[in-house]
Amino acid sequence: MKVRELAVKDAYEFTPQRFPDQRGLFVAPFQEPALVEAVGHPLRLAQTNHSVSRRGTIRGVHFADTPPGQAKYVYCPSGALLDVIVDLRVGSPTFGRWDAVRLDSVDFRAVYLAEGLGHAFVALEDDTAMAYLCSTGYNPGGEHGITPLDPALELPWPGDIEPILSEKDTSAPTFAEAEAAGLLPSYEACVAHYATLR
What DSSP assignment string belongs to 83-98?
EEEEE--BT-TTTT-E
Provide the residue type at 71 as one letter. Answer: A
Q: What are phi and psi of 32, to 5 degrees?
A: -55, -45
How close are the terminal C-alpha atoms of the chain, in Å? 22
| Whether 62 is catalytic | yes
With H, G, I as helix, E, B as strand and everything else as coil, classify residue 191: helix
Cis peptide before 173 (omega within 30 of 0): no
Q: What are the CA-CA distances from residue 95 to residues 17, 20, 98 (Å)?
A: 32, 40, 9
- pLDDT given for residue 81 in this prediction: 98
- pLDDT given for residue 8 in this prediction: 98
- pLDDT given for residue 111 in this prediction: 98
**Among 41, 50, 62, 144, which one carries the catalytic annotation?**
62
**39-77 pLDDT per residue, tens:** 999 999 999 999 999 999 999 999 999 999 999 999 999
**Among 12, 41, 75, 132, which one carries the catalytic annotation?**
132
What global pTM score does this model have? 0.95
**102-157 pLDDT per residue, tens:** 999 999 999 999 999 999 999 999 999 999 999 999 999 999 999 999 999 999 99
- pLDDT given for residue 52 in this prediction: 98
> Do the beta carbons of residue 33 and residue 41 sit within 8 Å?
no
| Whether 132 is catalytic | yes
- pLDDT given for residue 131 in this prediction: 98
- pLDDT given for residue 171 in this prediction: 96
Q: Say what percent of the chain tops pLDDT 90.
A: 99
- pLDDT given for residue 103 in this prediction: 98
